[in-house]
A and B are shown apart, each in its own frame.
Chain A
Amino acid sequence: MKANYQPKPPLLVNAFMAFYIMHDLQVGVGINGFQRYIYMYAKHDSWVSVILVGLLVHLIVFLILKTLQLYGSTDIFGVHDDVFGKIIGKVFNAIFIVYCLYATLITLINYIEIVQSWIFPETPIWLFSLSLFLLMIYGITGGIRVIIGICFFNVIISLWVLFLLLFPLKYADFSQLLPVLDTNPLGIIKGTYRMTSTVLGFELFFVLYPHFKEKSKVQLYSHLGILISTIVYVAIMVISIAYFSPGQLVSNIWATLTMFRISKIPFIERFEYVTIAYWMIIILPNLMFYMWSAIRGMERSFKVVEKKSLLIFSILLFVVSLFFKTRLEISRLNQLFVPIGFYLAFCYPILLFFLAFIKRKWKSNKEQAL
């Protein structure tokens, strides 16, 4: 496998799409109920944790793109191959593929749990799972441009959801945010750690990068995307702290949805039904991007035809998704994902950057010596 990977021109998209992709990847199913985990540790200073995570993501994405720029046009699979050699590189690629599948599964199962808990308690899991997989396969066979297209429209037409945040303001008591920075720093850092799993998604730029046309502008647009998602997360966190009292926030599994449900519009009384159904459109690109990254890795690293691995992975994940039925099981699955996501998406890119940097330096020195 060659480290450098240049997709054909029809598979390229403009760099400004990085903004939409980044925002969409970061805002997924986690936004419905991230508050309680952070609040447990950081209390009413949770919004500080959210800002810290935002800053951290800026740093990591900067390093991710710098790593890839060392090679001109490549993805994580090519970097692994170059840095670690053929065999160990393949092992790392396999880990990344498994991680992508895990992320797909988490998104899928958490969404299905929301629908089952809020709207259709009797409807079986396989039904939701199957319909989502059909949509996923349909989108992924269309290719990367179709997925990015869905993602673009998704961000544009989802803007109205933000207006729902105005309804809870009527019951908000902003004095609950005071005194500012009262929690001990350790609590805030623990909250930051828990928040990392919510903002995941940016690590897929490792795979998407070759598909951008103007590589020099990707950095700018992706940071803009991170900025917007961080603002959205901070806004939701601040309003949640003001709207709920501490005990409520800690016991509520889906605090954001609970806030949205008090919206009353003359022609529809229970707005959360619309929001939850609509959320499928929001998570669909996330599912597709993760799945696509996994099958991309299979093709790049193991030379498996895309369609074949898509079918195998879909069937595999579909079967696995049927086993997660209770809140306890799903909660355990999510808990396990927190350290994995943290180490793979937050710590590993830093390490990889230095390894790739040293390797490149060493190589060019050797070439010069010759």
Chain B
Amino acid sequence: MRQYKKWLLVFIILLLTGCAKPKTLEKIGLVTTKGYDLEKDGKIKGSLVILTVDPNAKQKTTIITTKALTARGNRIHSDVMSSKKLLSGQLRVVLFSEAIAKHGIKPFTDTFVRDPSISDLIYMGIVDGQTEDLLGIVNNQIPDVGQHIYKEIDHNVRWSLIPSSTLHETLQGNYAVGKDPVLPILKKTKNRVRISGVALLKDNKLVGKLNFYQSYYVRTLQSPLKSGAFEIPISGESLGLTGDHLPHKQLAVALDTVLSNPKIELINKENLEFNLNLKINARIQEINADIDLKSPKTIQLLEREIANQMKKDIRKIVAYCQSVQSDPFGLGETYRSSVRHANLNRKKWHKIYPKAKVNVNVKFTIAKTGIVE
């Protein structure tokens, strides 16, 4: 009798297993990339890149573009245009056109974070132009544009060429008191996707843009790094050098960061003054002039020359960020965490931030010159 009861229990538990909805891979369409444009009538145009699982299919991806009032509405409209049930568990990248980002991306990030099937580590990006055009790139070197964009952003983030812009970090920046998020800007160039800079956000809205050259500084000033590469134009006057063997005549150095360490200090609470100290150790990879790197004096002069140029660049970027009231460096976080009872909130910070005085100090060291001197 006891035995019989035990088996009955096991049997009931077995019966319970069939109650969840199955999702067969062949019957679902995996949405890997989403792009949102603004229509003239104020509606949202959503383009979804869908990965096809069928190995016999000629095209690896399908793109469905629909118009709706909300991002979820686009999904519903896309569902009725698709042969498969669309699911966003494999979503990797979300792109916004500049026009829509200027109106604010809050409703979009909100629906993504509400959905448990969407990962917090998807990348967000801004598109210079129409996202529909960018996702619609037909290029036989790019079989799957969704994967291509994801990998392009991912490896550049990993190698610290652009700031990281995952959903989590974007939200963290948007909700933090003294920090604003940055998103990479993508552009369709010669039928390829190019990262052309970073977009500055304030209260979820696009307020400014920095070019690719400037985005290196934004990334470097955010957190300590062990990688990164950049090309910096310098004036060769103190070295007595000009790039005269080149038609362009602009002397420039290509560098590879070994170690960079930014430090923000608050030096005056009342009149708001910050010290922005940046220490960079780098390797010289190329210099477009005839120069003797054996002499310590030349190295010193070169270091000073580069540091000055960096200072100038950073000052310009900080001034621009202040003018658009966006704080990608987290100066406000420094203020909040070092002033007791500051009662800082976003509104207050955005009001006092443009008036802050920021002193930039750069200490640049050439650590190595490659395997030859």
A residues in contact (CB < 8 Å) with B: 117-120, 122-124, 127, 130-131, 134, 138, 171, 173, 175-176, 178-179, 182, 244-248, 258, 261-262, 264, 269-270, 272
Contact = CB atoms under 8 A, between A and B. Distances in A.
Interface in B122-180: 168-169, 171-177, 179
Nearest to A137: B9
B9 to A, nearest CB: 6
Interface in B1-45: 9, 12-13, 16, 19-21
Contact of A248 (B121, B171, B341): B171
Given A134-B12, A175-B333, A182-B340, A248 B116 contact: no
A36 B333 CA distance: 21
B175 A262 contact: no
Contacts, number: 68
A179 to B, nearest CB: 5
B178 to A, nearest CB: 10
Contact of B175 (A123, A131, A173, A246): A246
Contact of B119 (A119, A244, A270): A270
A308 B89 CA distance: 47
Given A134-B9, A245-B176, A262-B168, A270 B338 contact: no
Given A134-B13, A179-B338, A270 B89 contact: yes
Contacts of B334: 175
**B interface: dominant SS:** helix
A179 B121 contact: no
Interface of B: 9, 12-13, 16, 19-21, 89, 116, 119-121, 168-169, 171-177, 179, 333-334, 337-341
B234 to A, nearest CB: 34
Contacts of A272: 116
Contact of A178 (B13, B120, B173, B338): B338
A123 B120 contact: no
Nearest to B117: A270
B135 to A, nearest CB: 23
Given A120-B20, A262-B119, A245 B9 contact: no
Given A118-B116, A127-B16, A134-B12, A245 B340 contact: no
28 contacts: A119-B116, A120-B21, A122-B20, A122-B21, A123-B19, A123-B20, A124-B19, A131-B16, A134-B13, A171-B169, A173-B333, A175-B334, A175-B337, A176-B333, A176-B337, A178-B338, A182-B341, A244-B172, A245-B171, A245-B175, A247-B174, A248-B171, A248-B175, A258-B120, A261-B119, A261-B120, A262-B119, A264-B121
A121 B340 CA distance: 45
A163 B77 CA distance: 42
B337 A171 contact: no
Most buried by B among A131, A179, A245: A245
B121 A262 contact: yes
Nearest to B333: A175
Contacts of A124: 19
Given A134-B13, A178-B337, A245-B174, 10 more contacts: A123-B19, A134-B12, A171-B172, A175-B334, A179-B337, A245-B173, A261-B120, A262-B120, A262-B121, A272-B116
Contacts of A138: 9
Contacts of B171: 245, 248
A261 B112 CA distance: 14
A272 B120 CA distance: 12
Contacts of B333: 173, 175-176
Contacts of A179: 337-340
Contacts of A246: 175-177
Contacts of A117: 116
Contacts of A173: 333
A299 to B, nearest CB: 22
A248 B168 CA distance: 9
A119 B175 CA distance: 27
Contacts of A247: 174-176
List of 9 A-B pairs having minimum Cβ-Cβ separation, nearest first: A247-B175, A178-B337, A245-B176, A245-B175, A245-B172, A118-B116, A175-B337, A248-B175, A120-B20
A258 B121 CA distance: 11
A258 B9 CA distance: 35
A250 B175 CA distance: 10
Contacts of A245: 171-177, 179
Contacts of A264: 121
Contacts of B119: 261-262, 269-270
A127 B19 CA distance: 8
A261 B89 CA distance: 13
A302 to B, nearest CB: 27
A134 B20 CA distance: 19
Contacts of B175: 244-248
A9 to B, nearest CB: 25
A61 to B, nearest CB: 36
B86 to A, nearest CB: 16
